[in-house]
Structure 1
Amino acid sequence: MASSRAGSPIPREVADELERVVARWHQLPLDHALSRAPAVRDVVQSLADEVAGCRRRPPSRVPDLGPATLMHQLQVMVFDLFAGRPDTSSAWVTERLSGIRRSL
């Protein structure tokens, strides 16, 4: 499992898919992004719940800061997940990210 770049805990295949999702998101018209945001927020929240679990903390709700920050939240959650639980299945995370991209 090669990391995406020196010092990053994110496996290369996950980082590549995350980059594709973010690039696609930035191409969306605002109304389309708004219609897809709830599904993306669900993925962000599920990753946040995993991060809370690996930190042995209770889950907390990720704030809805709008579509402009949603990709940043996704990137942070992916980073935090692999930083906190390096043995996380990269296939599982890649599939979640691929699902987002396909829905866009």
Structure 2
Amino acid sequence: MSGTRPAGSSSAGGPSAVVDTETERVVRRWQQLPLDRAQAAYPGVRGVVQELADAVADRTGQRRETVPDLGPGVVMDQLRVMTYDWRQTDLPEADLAEQLLALRRSLP
């Protein structure tokens, strides 16, 4: 396990802490959305999930796959999985934090 850090770990104030915080903020915000707003925002959230999946695939030399469309009720679980996968590939956490912040700010 050289160079990898468990997904839940973070250094105080660093990009990893921001990722942890922003992930939870996105999830909480998503849970607060009325159904009509969640459905309207869903394509954008799926787009971010797919971008993360594509970056992980590119980094690991795997073929890009379409993330299954399982609906608004599951998309936050998919986001968490993609966040975990991103971290396991040692992609820059600062980039992930920026994407999560932008996603949260885009939610109605």
**TM over 0.5, shorter chain:** yes
| Match runs of 1:12-91 below 5 Å | 12-84=17-89, 86=90, 88-91=91-94
Measure, in 2, the Cα distance between the counterparts of 1:67 and 1:19.
16
Q: CA deviation at 1:77?
A: 0.3
Q: Retained in 2: the 8 A contact 1:40–1:100? A: yes
Measure, in 1, the Cα distance between the counterparts of 2:99 and 2:67.
17
Q: Which runs of 4+ in 1 moved over 3 A?
A: none
The normalised TM-score by structure 1 is 0.86
Q: Which amino acid aligns with 2:31?
A: H
The normalised TM-score by structure 2 is 0.83
SS at 2:41's partner residue? helix
Measured on the aligned residues, the alpha-carbon RMSD in Å equals: 1.5
- Which residues of structure 2 form unaligned runs of 5+? 10-15
Q: 1:89 to 1:7 in 2, by over 3 A?
A: closer
Alignment coverage as a number of residue pairs? 97
Measure, in 1, the Cα distance between the counterparts of 2:19 and 2:104.
13
- Which residues of structure 1 form unaligned runs of 5+? 1-5
- Give the % identical residues: 45
Instruction: Name the structure 2 match of 1:99.
Output: 102
Q: Which amino acid aligns with 2:55?
A: E
Measure, in 2, the Cα distance between the counterparts of 1:101 and 1:30.
17
Q: 1:80 to 1:24 in 2, by over 3 A?
A: same
Q: CA deviation at 1:15?
A: 0.9
